[in-house]
Structure 1
């Protein structure tokens, strides 16, 4: 996969996540804040940033900027997994 195609794939995945959030918000107002609450958890952000940094360093020699795009996406997903708050709060 070329660098441009790889970055395009990341953009498509991020767009799908944003659309998913928008649909959830239309169905139940306030749910978007619950889905993205991990962004306010300092522990989750630090762990996600660490994962993104490691993945970016590992992937940089092979794909360059495409590795950075994938690393940022993976870091955000790791941060959302690390956030252990119940979704109802």
Structure 2
């Protein structure tokens, strides 16, 4: 009996990069609005754009070069994020 990991084809870096969707561009402020001010022309990503970009980045394969970064540090990164949220909540309560 084979596992899903054994059946998954191994892709080279080039194949991984070729399979990665192109980077999306954020929406821009209308040209008429750009003519009259110095506001940032790139608008924030909408939720669907941010989700697409986030999934694209995780599929790029670049972080897989060092197994330690993927496997050994992932739990620490998750715990750091939890601690960061706790700290932000504490600071918000004091302000």
Same fold (TM over 0.5): no
Q: Which has the higher contact order (CA 8 A, sep 6+)?
A: 1
TM-score, normalisation: structure 1: 0.31
If you compute each CA radius of gyration, which structure gives the higher value, 1 or 2?
2
Please state which structure has a larger fraction of its residues in helix.
1
